[in-house]
């Protein structure tokens, strides 16, 4: 900073204000200082800055690299955290890296709160132990671990809407590729069963094992193709599963939605791709991020100690992958 100040003929305090992104300097001054810093090869030592602070003002986010929805949530968390004056530190769960290791890494980086996206493999009592050290907000599930908060969507209602949409198009033989015990999957399965019963189709329920991956969707499609007759519509546990199912059906010479209508869940970016054009249950990622960061800040700055659990409504985005069944 002294070099930058000497280069411009300004005070070191002014350079510190600009590089620390603090108020005071004009826009023109900021531009001059930042340009000079870049010319001189100055790079801020973020780790040293964190050590000097009484508070890190970092939110740690634990996520997986398998699901596009996780990436969408991470992207949405960044601007919300910045608006509250926090930065984001990421830690990924991998096959060779336990959740405990990922959590310990984030705590070691002085993260003031943790955001867990997706399923936690931690026992509730272990997660409660983490929550005693730092606030913990779960996205997409509620483990009921003591001291944690959660933000999730109403999956039961979402899949019921999907079933109702298909029934309204004239479908009766509707299958569901379910996600086992993955986050929100039991609720999505319940929504399917309730939706079928609601429309008098309880005897037509058709559950096909699956998971939140394209490979699982492909396996489900292969199982359906081995039958004598296909269902006229399939509600998949998420968009990735739906994509794998659709591609396998198309490679087998079956058309979507001509032979089989398909509905996904998440309304991810993939659902909006022109070659998929997937009807999908929408989760409001921006609102999830807003409420998640808000819950952490309430604990950190507002002193809230009681747990809060938010369930957001879902909507159905109708696209070209669903149509009336063929006569």
One-letter-per-residue 3-state SS of the chain? CHHHHHHHCCCHHHHHHHHCCCCCCCHHHHHHHHHHHHHCCCCCCHHHHHHHCCCCCEEEEEEECCCHHHHHHHHHHHHHHHHCCCEEEEEEEECCECHHHHHHHHHHCCCCEEEEECCCCCCHHHHHHHHHHCCEEEECCCCCCCCCEEEEECHHHHHHHHHHHHHHHCCCCEEEEECCCCCCHHHHHHHHHHHHHHCCCHHHCEEEECCCCHHHHHHHHHHHHCCCCCCCEEEECCHHHHHHHHHHHHHCCCCCCCCCEEEEEECCHHHHCCCCCCEEEECCHHHHHHHHHHHHHHHHHHCCCCCCEEEECCEEECCCCCCCCCC
- The yes-or-no answer to whether 56-152+285-311 and 155-283 have a common fold is yes
- At residue 63, the pLDDT reads 87
**In the chain, where the domains are located:** 2-44, 56-152+285-311, 155-283
pLDDT at res. 208: 97
Task: Determine if the pTM surpasses 0.85.
Answer: no
Write down the pLDDT at residue 122: 62
Please report the pLDDT score of residue 257 as a whole number: 96
Residue in 312, 318, 260 with CA at minimum distance from that of residue 286: 312
Instruction: Name residue, tokens 């930042």.
Output: 34
> What does the alpha-carbon distance between residue 113 and residue 116 come to, in Å, rounded to a whole number?
10
The answer to whether residues 40 and 58 touch, using CB atoms and an 8 Å cutoff, is: no
Structure tokens at 195: 């939706």
**Residue 263 near residue 165 (C-beta atoms within 8 A):** yes
Pairing, β 315-317 against β 279-282:
antiparallel
Contact assessment for residue 114 and residue 103, using Cβ atoms and an 8 Å cutoff: yes
Tokens read off for 199? 């429309």
| CATH number for the segment(s) 2-44 | 1.10.260.40
| Regions of the chain short of the pLDDT cut 50 | 50-51
CA 110 – CA 309 distance, rounded (Å)? 25
Question: What is the CB neighbour count within 10 angstroms for residue 115?
Answer: 29
Q: What token pair was written down for 218? A: 């492909």
Which CATH architecture does the domain made up of 56-152+285-311 adopt? 3-Layer(aba) Sandwich (3.40)
Q: Which CATH architecture has domain 155-283?
A: 3-Layer(aba) Sandwich (3.40)
Q: What is the pLDDT of residue 40?
A: 81
The pLDDT of residue 322: 97
Report d(CA 235, CA 174) in Å as an integer.
7
């Amino acid at each position: 900073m002294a070099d930058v100040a000497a280069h411009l003929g300004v005070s070191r305090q002014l350079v510190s204000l600009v590089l620390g992104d603090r108020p005071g300097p004009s826009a023109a001054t900021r531009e001059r200082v930042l340009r000079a810093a870049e010319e001189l090869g100055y790079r801020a030592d973020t780790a040293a800055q964190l050590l000097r602070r009484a508070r890190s003002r970092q939110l740690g986010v634990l996520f997986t690299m398998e699901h596009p929805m996780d990436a969408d949530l991470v992207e949405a968390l960044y601007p919300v955290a910045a608006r509250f004056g926090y930065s984001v530190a990421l830690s990924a769960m991998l096959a060779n890296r336990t959740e405990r290791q990922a959590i310990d890494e984030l705590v070691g980086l002085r993260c003031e709160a943790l955001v867990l996206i997706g399923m936690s493999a931690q026992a509730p009592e272990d997660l409660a132990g983490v929550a005693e050290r730092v606030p913990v907000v779960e996205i997409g599930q509620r483990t009921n671990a003591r001291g944690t908060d959660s933000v999730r969507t109403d999956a039961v209602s979402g899949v019921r809407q999907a079933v109702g949409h298909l029934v309204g198009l004239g479908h009766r033989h509707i299958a569901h590729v379910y996600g086992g015990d993955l986050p929100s999957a039991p609720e999505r399965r319940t929504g399917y069963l309730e939706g079928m019963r609601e429309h008098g189709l309880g005897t037509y329920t058709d559950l096909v094992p699956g998971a939140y991956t394209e490979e699982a969707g492909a396996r489900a499609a292969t199982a359906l193709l081995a039958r004598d007759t296909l269902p006229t519509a399939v509600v998949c546990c998420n968009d990735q599963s739906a994509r794998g199912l659709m591609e396998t059906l198309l490679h087998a010479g079956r058309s979507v939605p001509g032979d089989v209508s398909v509905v996904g869940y998440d309304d991810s970016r993939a659902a909006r791709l022109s070659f998929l054009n997937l009807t999908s249950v929408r989760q409001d990622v921006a609102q999830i991020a807003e409420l998640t960061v808000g819950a952490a800040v309430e604990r950190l700055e507002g002193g809230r100690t009681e747990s809060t659990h938010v369930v957001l409504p879902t909507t159905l985005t109708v696209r070209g992958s669903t149509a009336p069944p063929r006569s």
